[in-house]
Structure formats: structure tokens, C-alpha cells
């Protein structure tokens, strides 16, 4: 039995509207182009129309939420970067100098930086959304990453921000993250959800060499054995996966995907870490899937596997592996393009053009 706050959100999540979807497909087929010739742009438009239930779909209030947290698992030496980089990058985000700031400016998107669990005292830092649950998750090689209370608090961060986003009139948001060590947590979540061995879902993160990557795999496999001794013969509960081997920012992302889905806000997920959070959300509420767009598929092997398992096709594959929401914000332009196509193209009838007919 889920906690009440979670049941309340999940209950409100409905699938995409099938009637709007077929109307959208008919409209797309009436436009002056061979049927289906705009490929994924057409799929995106149909999905957005079905999700937003609008005849003339539009986007308002684009924003990216960058969830930052630290990870106890870095004690095991799983990252190429020292833990200090998490708070340093938070400052960089607030100063507008990070990749996500640059890409958000281009996409005319707001940027919200959310401290869910950075291991640093920011002391009321201006511009930072302070929702710190704990100074970093626990080392999941030794114990559960979070207590139940901590998990719930982190989920609530995302749920609250989704409510806020709706009040601000946002219809399309991107999710991103920053947290040294978080590809290790995401790999553990991916392995636990899919039942695959860590070796199949673990990559070099921001730049491990082969030897340290192998060590990362062993750490994850050992942790999974400890936390889920019944695995792989039975699948663990997704919330327990999140709590034991996830991270605070991953849990906030799960909460925000659920909260956004309950309000029919469309969500673009970024890389592997975001997708892990979204995968937990979809495991809890499969209908949430209809509101999700995959911005970019990274080089992390677990990312492709999770996307396939969720039947999500990425809009971009540029070999990026940065996170922060960069891949999601880059995809805003493609979603915007797909809706402009939907709203602005001439139809065969209006333009007086012959349809295929030989």
C-alpha cells in the first residue's frame, strides 16, 4: 500500500486522449507532404495533442528544472570528479555559465536549480530553490540510500514543483540533474528495474577508464545482491529500488514526472539519470508515459535500455553525456517545430495539390 500523498497523485494520472490522437493523425495526413514523411515530428505532434487535448496545440512557459544532490556512493570511488563539483556546478548554474544556461537562453526557457540534497551549506543562496532533504544520500554499498521519510520528502519536492509549474501556466517542462556519482545510482536503478546485470547498464559516466568502470559494475552488483537478495527471480518494488539504490535528485524527478502527469504538463526527460527517475514513475503509474518525450539518448548503455523498455524514442542522439537537462532543452526546439508544422502547414485542399494516386 502506497502512502496517501502518492496515491493521490497517481490516481489523477490518465492516458493520452485517443480521440484527440486520431484527430491529430488525420490532420497530419491532410498536410502538403507525403503521409508520414515528417517522421518523428509527426509522432511528437500527435502525442502532444493527445496529451494536452488541444486542437491547436501550443507551448507556454518552457522551463528546465535542474535537481542537484550528492551521493554517498562516491566514497567507493565511482566518479572521475570529486564531490565538491556538485556545489561548484550549482554556483555555475546560478551564475549562468553552465551549458544548461546557454541552451536554455537559446530555447527561451526558464532555469530552476533545485537543491534536493547537495552536501554543502548554501545559506539562502539567491536564486536557488532550497528543498534540501539531507546533505547527500547514504552510501548504498553499505546501507539504503534513503530512509522512507527522506524518500517521501524527495518525491514531494517534485510533486510540489509540478503544482507550482501548473500555477505558472507551464505546459512543457524539461527535467535535468547534477550530482557527482549519479550515473552509479542510475545504473543501479536500471539494473534493479530491468533485472539485468550491472555490466549491461553501466557506462563510463563523465569519464572513467575501463578498470574503474569495471569496479563500478562490481560495486553495483554487490549492492544489488545486498539490497535485493531475491533478485533476479523476482522484481523488487520500484519505490524500494529508488529508496535503496537511487538518489535524492532521482526521487525528486520521479515525483515531478508523476506530478506533471497528474496535471497533463508534458515533460521532456534528459539523459540516463532523468530517465531512471522517469522509469520509476512509469512503473508506479504506466499512464504517465503518454506525457513524456525523450530529449536525447546518451552513450550510457543503460540509457538506451531504459528508453526501449519504456518504448520511448529519443529526439536527439548527439553523443552527449553531460546531463543538467541539456539534451532535453535542445529538444524543445524540435517539439516546437512539430507543433508549428501541425498548426501552420497548408493542407492538400487549401493548396490545391494532387495527392499520391498512381
Write out the residues near a copy of itself by the rule CB under 8 A. Answer: 31-35, 37-41, 77, 79-82, 84-85, 88-89, 91-92, 95, 97-99, 101-103, 105-106, 206-207, 299, 315-322, 326, 330, 333-334, 336-337, 340-341, 344-346, 350-354, 356-358
Q: Which cell goes with 318?
A: 548527439
**121 CB-near residues (< 8 Å, 6+ apart):** none
Are the C-beta atoms of 15 and 290 separated by less than 8 Å? yes
Nearest CB to a copy of itself, comparing residues 124 and 319:
319
Nearest CB to a copy of itself, comparing residues 46 and 280:
46
β-pair partners for 258: none
Residue in 356, 335, 330, 336 with CA at minimum distance from that of residue 102: 330
Nearest CB to a copy of itself, comparing residues 118 and 251:
118
> Closest distance between a copy of itself and the C-beta of residue 291, in Å?
20
Catalytic-residue membership of 324: yes
Nearest CB to a copy of itself, comparing residues 104 and 191:
104
Longest dimension (CA), the chain: 71
Q: Which cell goes with 10?
A: 497517481
> Closest distance between a copy of itself and the C-beta of residue 10, in Å?
32
Reading across the β-sheet that carries 110-117, which strands appear in turn?
A: 128-130, 110-117, 63-69, 172-178, 266-269, 292-294
> Closest distance between a copy of itself and the C-beta of residue 1, in Å?
42
> Closest distance between a copy of itself and the C-beta of residue 195, in Å?
29
Catalytic: which of 42, 150, 177, 324?
324
> Closest distance between a copy of itself and the C-beta of residue 348, in Å?
9
Nearest CB to a copy of itself, comparing residues 148 and 355:
355
Catalytic residues: 324
Amino acid at each position: 500500500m502506497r502512502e496517501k500523498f502518492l496515491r493521490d497523485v497517481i490516481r489523477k494520472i490518465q492516458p493520452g486522449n485517443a480521440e484527440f490522437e486520431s484527430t491529430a493523425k488525420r490532420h497530419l495526413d491532410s498536410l502538403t507532404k507525403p503521409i508520414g514523411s515528417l517522421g518523428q515530428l509527426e509522432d511528437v505532434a500527435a502525442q502532444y495533442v493527445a496529451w494536452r487535448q488541444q486542437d491547436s496545440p501550443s507551448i507556454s512557459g518552457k522551463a528546465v528544472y535542474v535537481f542537484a544532490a550528492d551521493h554517498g556512493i562516491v566514497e567507493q570511488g565511482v566518479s572521475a570528479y570529486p564531490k565538491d563539483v556538485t556545489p561548484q556546478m550549482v554556483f555555475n548554474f546560478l551564475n549562468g555559465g553552465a551549458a544548461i544556461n546557454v541552451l536554455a537562453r537559446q530555447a527561451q526557457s526558464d532555469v530552476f536549480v533545485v537543491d534536493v540534497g547537495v552536501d554543502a551549506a548554501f545559506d539562502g543562496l539567491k536564486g536557488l530553490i532550497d528543498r534540501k532533504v539531507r546533505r547527500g544520500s547514504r552510501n548504498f554499498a553499505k546501507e539504503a540510500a534513503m530512509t522512507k521519510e527522506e524518500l517521501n520528502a524527495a518525491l514531494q519536492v517534485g510533486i510540489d514543483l509540478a503544482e507550482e509549474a501548473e500555477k505558472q501556466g507551464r505546459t512543457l517542462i524539461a527535467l535535468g540533474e547534477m550530482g557527482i556519482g549519479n550515473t552509479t545510482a542510475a545504473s543501479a536503478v536500471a539494473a534493479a528495474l530491468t533485472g539485468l546485470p550491472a555490466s549491461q547498464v553501466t557506462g563510463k559516466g563523465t569519464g572513467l577508464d575501463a578498470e574503474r568502470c569495471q569496479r563500478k559494475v562490481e560495486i553495483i552488483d554487490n549492492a544489488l545482491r545486498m539490497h535485493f537478495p531475491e533478485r533476479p527471480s523476482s522484481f523488487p518494488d520500484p519505490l524500494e529500488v529508488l529508496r535503496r539504490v537511487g538518489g535524492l535528485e532521482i526521487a525528486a524527478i520521479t515525483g515531478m514526472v508523476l506530478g506533471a502527469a497528474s496535471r497533463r504538463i508534458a515533460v521532456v526527460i534528459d539523459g540516463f539519470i532523468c530517465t531512471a527517475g522517469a522509469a520509476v514513475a512509469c512503473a508506479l503509474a504506466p499512464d504517465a508515459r503518454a506525457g513524456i518525450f525523450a530529449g536525447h539518448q546518451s552513450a550510457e548503455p543503460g540509457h538506451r535500455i531504459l528508453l526501449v523498455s519504456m518504448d520511448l524514442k529519443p529526439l536527439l542522439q548527439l553523443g552527449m553525456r553531460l546531463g543538467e537537462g541539456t539534451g532535453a532543452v535542445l529538444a524543445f526546439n524540435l517539439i516546437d517545430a512539430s507543433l508549428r508544422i501541425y498548426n501552420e502547414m497548408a493542407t492538400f485542399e487549401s493548396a490545391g495539390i494532387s495527392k499520391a494516386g498512381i
